[in-house]
Amino acid sequence: MNLKSIISESEIIKYSSLIFLANFSGALILFISNIILSRHFGPEVFGNFKTILGLSLLLPSLIEFGAGVTIVKYTATLIKDKKKVNYLIKSILKLRVISYSLLLVLVFVLKDQIAIYLLKDISLSPLVIPGILISGLFFFEIFKSIALGFQEYKDYSVSKFLTFSSYGILILILGYFFGVYYALIGWALSYFIGNFSLIRLSIRRGLLGKTKKFDIKKVFLSYTLPMYILFFPELLSLVPIPILSLYYSQRIIGYYSFAMIFYNGIILIPLSLSDYLFPKISGLSGKKNRKVAEEKLKKVLLLYSLVVIPGIITTIFFSDFFIELIAPLYVPSILIFKILVCLGLLSGYFLIYENYLRGLARLKRFALMILTRNITFLIFSFFVLMTLV
């Protein structure tokens, strides 16, 4: 192994760690803010908040059409041909403006129906307005993909941290003092705050300058659309709260959303281990060294078991005391809390294995596992909530 390869590997470790640190620290701020707001709002209002937020994040994700992964791949591929990169990004931004405009108009027209079916109260239709703002400003998340395409890892990491921390800080301040409507506005503004530096960076790079045409239609048909279909199952992780809101009261959705705060926090642990596993498996896969790859997987799963076993025991025996201490309004949902936290711990095994498959480039099986896990979770959630009816 020469010095150059060692330096290259140290850079991978450095920047992947930087991205993880940005995600984790921002997510921690958001986690704390969610707990405080859940106490302040109470189950029903917190349910309204999470329902509108869930719907507002789901809708733009459905019309992404693989734009992010396309920009990352082809910006990196065409990086020496700046005019082609400009043409690619401009084309995607134009399509994005059209699709987002149609989406936002449609949601505005249907705001009363959304309030009736999801919030169970037409008088709450004004809450859909800041939801539209969230969906609209989600537009700016594409600039993170542009930064990744240019391998601007530091700028990307800063943007991730600013976005996540802005979520937490703004929803807490605006929600605590002015209510759920302004908490949703705070979330929306976070997209602009978090991506502002990347927007400036893109302008300085001259991405809105001269272009050179190439067959963008071929790119869309051969790569963008297939990748969108392949990774579509990941979007199902955004579905549970909007879907469950069709069948359960906002009080019950509030209980569920409170438990999901901790479920999502638990998931960060296996995702962190996956961040380590994925590049390792990818490298071993390239060398056709399946046996060592399987050994790596077994070690990571064993390490994760050291978290799962005490985690489940602690959840079962100490959740009652914990909920009564930090959020007594949610005591009626202790059973749901225990089930979802334990489920989050167990789901970690599947997350780790999914990233093992991704490292081996078994993408169809990878997508099928994600689809199965998300559908199973939705069905399981539906029946678990029946315990509160």
User: How far apart are alpha carbons 270 and 307 in whole angstroms?
Assistant: 10
Alpha carbon distances (Å) from 262 to 41, 292, 329, 358:
17, 34, 16, 26
Length of the chain: 389
DSSP string, 215-277: -HHHHIIIIIHHHHHHHHHHHGGG-HHHHHTTTS-HHHHHHHHHHHHHHHHHHHHHHHHHHHH
Report how far apart the first and last C-alpha atoms of the chain are (Å, whole number). Answer: 63
Q: Report yes or no: 163 and 194 within 8 Å, Cβ to Cβ.
A: yes
Element at 84 (helix H, strand E): helix 82-109
Q: What is the DSSP letter of 193?
A: H
> Amino acid identity of 101?
S
Rounded to 5 degrees, φ, ψ at 91 are: -65, -45
pLDDT values of the chain reduced to their tens digit, one per residue, 389 residues? 444 443 444 544 555 555 666 667 777 888 899 999 999 999 999 999 999 999 999 999 888 888 887 887 777 777 677 788 888 888 888 999 999 999 999 999 999 999 999 999 999 999 999 999 999 999 999 998 888 778 777 888 888 888 888 999 999 999 999 999 999 999 999 999 999 999 988 888 777 677 778 778 888 888 788 878 877 777 778 889 999 999 999 999 999 999 999 998 888 788 777 766 665 676 666 556 677 788 888 888 888 898 899 999 999 999 999 999 988 999 998 999 999 999 999 999 998 888 888 777 787 888 888 888 889 999 999 998 988 87
The pLDDT value recorded for residue 1 is: 42
User: How far apart are alpha carbons 103 and 57 in whole angstroms?
Assistant: 12
The pLDDT value recorded for residue 248 is: 93
User: How far apart are alpha carbons 137 and 210 in whole angstroms?
Assistant: 26
In the chain, what is the greatest distance between 2 CA atoms, to the nearest angstrom? 68
CB-count burial class (<10 Å; 0-12, 13-18, 19+) for 53: buried
Q: Report yes or no: 66 and 99 within 8 Å, Cβ to Cβ.
A: no
User: How far apart are alpha carbons 186 and 290 in whole angstroms?
Assistant: 47
User: How far apart are alpha carbons 356 and 274 in whole angstroms?
Assistant: 8
User: How far apart are alpha carbons 273 and 355 in whole angstroms?
Assistant: 10
Q: Report yes or no: 163 and 193 within 8 Å, Cβ to Cβ.
A: yes
Half-sphere exposure of 83 (CA within 13 A, CB side): 5
CB atoms within 10 A of CB 218: 10
